[in-house]
Amino acid sequence: MVDTLITSIDDRGIATVTLSRPDVHNAFNDDLIWELDNAFKKLGADPSVRAIILTGAGKSFSAGADLNWMKAAADYTKEQNMRDALCLSGMLSSLNDCPKPTIALVNGAAFGGGVGLVSCCDIAIAVDSAKFSLSEVRLGLSPATISPYVIAAIGARSARRYFQTAERFDAATAYRIGLVHETAPSLQEAFKVAHVIIKNILGGAPGAQAEAKALIADFAGKDITDELRTDSASRIADRRSSDEGKEGVTAFLEKRNASWSEKT
């Protein structure tokens, strides 16, 4: 049996999740969606994992939904299609809400749901040759399930263009509109960029990083009310008295590495 998802964890606690359906450009089907959802939940709960890299095997990152899978879905009832869509939405949520830092390493084309995966990651690095497209309208569909994550990544203004035109755009454009944070001339160079980012991630406290990530989900776009200010104050008060908070401040004052950064 051929593995459609390959997961490995190195001795630093860096997990690499590789979409492995290169013959269909790493397109989603039921099985791959389930495997991805399970992988993100499992890795997110594993205390030995410090960060997760998501990439694709072969020439593509992900072409989105498998065409044969979508063809079969055309004959589904509304209820069956709803269940399918909720499975995809659940997988994207598992990635988006994963408490570990996540890095999309976009090794090639990312279309449709592939753009959704990139948008759900905290950090995205693309090779210069990568191509992107929110291609759903050309199939008579819409990017509904991925839209909350894509809009959060590129903003409403860019979404108004690319959701409707389905045009292909390059890595430089993806960088300009905020879909990716870094670009690199080759996959080897992209991994080097990822290595620098990971080195910085390993210098941070795992619990603090998870809570810092939650701040964005909980506070982004919210009005700064008395309730929000109280919530934010309560969170830093808890963190100051936490084991990580005490260790981090003590290590800084003693001019030594904190316990979690000894592997850097």
In this structure, of 67-71, 190-194, 255-259, the range with the lowest mean pLDDT score is 67-71
The residue ranges of DSSP E strands in 98-214, in sequence order, are 102-106, 109-111, 123-127, 131-133, 169-170, 182-184
Q: How do the domains of the chain map onto residue ranges?
A: 5-201, 206-261
| Whole-number average pLDDT of the chain | 94
Position 2 confidence tier, pLDDT thresholds 50, 70, 90: low
Q: Is the pLDDT of residue 151 over 70?
A: yes
What's the pLDDT score for residue 71?
A: 75
What's the pLDDT score for residue 264?
A: 44
Region 136-165: what's the mean pLDDT? Answer: 96
Residue 238 gets the label, from left (phi > 0), alpha (psi -120 to 50) or beta, of alpha
Region 213-225: what's the mean pLDDT? Answer: 95
Architecture category of domain 206-261 in CATH:
Orthogonal Bundle (1.10)
What's the pLDDT score for residue 3?
A: 82
Query: Residue 243 in 3-state DSSP?
Result: helix
What's the pLDDT score for residue 51?
A: 98
Map tokens 């791959």 to a residue: 32
Closest CA to 27 of 1, 75, 59: 59
In this structure, of 82-86, 206-210, 234-238, the range with the lowest mean pLDDT score is 82-86
pLDDT (tens digit per residue) in 94-144: 999 999 999 999 999 999 999 999 999 999 999 999 999 999 999 999 999
Q: How far is CA 67 from CA 123, 134, 177, 262, in A?
A: 28, 15, 28, 47
Architecture category of domain 5-201 in CATH:
Alpha-Beta Complex (3.90)
